[in-house]
Amino acid sequence: MRGRTMTYFDSVNLEQIKCVIRHLAHMHKNILSADPKIWKGKYLKSSKGFVEVLDMFNSSVEPLLKKCDFVDSFQPIVSKYHKLCRSTDFYLYIYQQAHKDLELPSVIVQGDMHPGNLMWSIDKNDNIQNYIAAIVDWQTMQEGSPMTDLARFLVHCADGNIRREAESFAIKLYYQCLIEEFGDISKVPYTLEQLQQAYKYAFLAQALYSLGTMDFFVPSIEEKIKDDKMRKDLFDSGMLKSLHAFEDSNKLLEGELNDLFIKFG
């Protein structure tokens, strides 16, 4: 009665993104302030969850591309990162180690922030508002990077143009919110530069996984949307979201994160 979720083929807006960032900063401050004996080392298994279904998710890539109108733009990037997308070592490094190499303390992350796991407040007419009512489905809760949830949320919940605009302020806003939560910048265990780099790592894992995630939600539109044209439009919007994520991954892997491509790809 208090809220409802969006579909994978909707997009959050900038105000909704800011709301999620504030929630993440609040949650992370509480975790970082808690006695580590309560949680430290108790939520490690779930960081392997998505890695264990890589084969299932990756098997959907080619069928998706065959139905895609912009396959000519997609195929060269997908082919280039074919090996990287299937590298369990790559994903485990991102999920478990990359933020530690940047000397960022771990936090508890929800781990699966896609549109179906975020309930937005609604008004009396059932219209979605810009405020979170609940974050649900915590079965993949894990110990990891403070940027994991933000990257997954932006890749899977925002259209490419919205995500790119949000990335111009998202990490700075998170850092500022964290300072406000602690009430003292000296208590924040991260620097802005560390967080910006950690986001790039987390983004790569989510972006290169996005086609498999997209396929997980395709049956929902095939079941619920009867109009062929509308169904095709929604499919294209989801594929375009993934294409934009792959394009931005390509820039990172050709540039400052080329060492990851050399090592794992």
Tens digits of residue pLDDT in 224-241: 888 999 999 999 999 999
Residue 220 has pLDDT above 90, yes or no: no
Residue 214 has pLDDT above 90, yes or no: no
Give me the mean pLDDT over the 203-226 stretch.
90
d(CA 51, CA 264) in angstroms, rounded, equals: 14
Give the Å distances, CA to CA, from 186 to 48, 178, 180, 240: 33, 11, 11, 41
pLDDT in tens, 125-183: 999 999 999 999 999 999 999 999 999 999 999 999 999 999 999 999 999 999 999 99
Residue 57 has pLDDT above 80, yes or no: no
Task: Please name which of 174, 187, 183 lies closest in space to residue 145, comparing C-alpha atoms.
Answer: 174
Do residues 142 and 108 lie in contact, with contact meaning Cβ atoms separated by under 8 Å?
yes
Torsion on CA atoms 109, 111, 113, 118, rounded to nearest 10: -70
d(CA 187, CA 179) in angstroms, rounded, equals: 8
Which pLDDT score is estimated for 140? 92
Phi-psi label, residue 78: left if phi above 0, alpha if psi -120 to 50, beta otherwise: alpha
pTM check: above 0.85: yes
Which pLDDT score is estimated for 46? 86
Which pLDDT score is estimated for 72? 94
Give me the mean pLDDT over the 28-47 stretch.
94
Per DSSP, what are the bridge partners of residue 107?
144
Residue 53 has pLDDT above 90, yes or no: no
Residue 209 has pLDDT above 80, yes or no: yes
Amino acid at site 62: E
Of 220-224, 239-243, 244-248, least confident by mean pLDDT is 220-224
DSSP letter at 192?
A: H
Residue 56 has pLDDT above 90, yes or no: no
pLDDT in tens, 58-88: 788 888 999 999 999 999 999 999 999 999 9
Residue 216 banded pLDDT, cuts 50, 70, 90: confident
Q: What is the chain's mean pLDDT, rounded? A: 94
Which pLDDT score is estimated for 113? 95
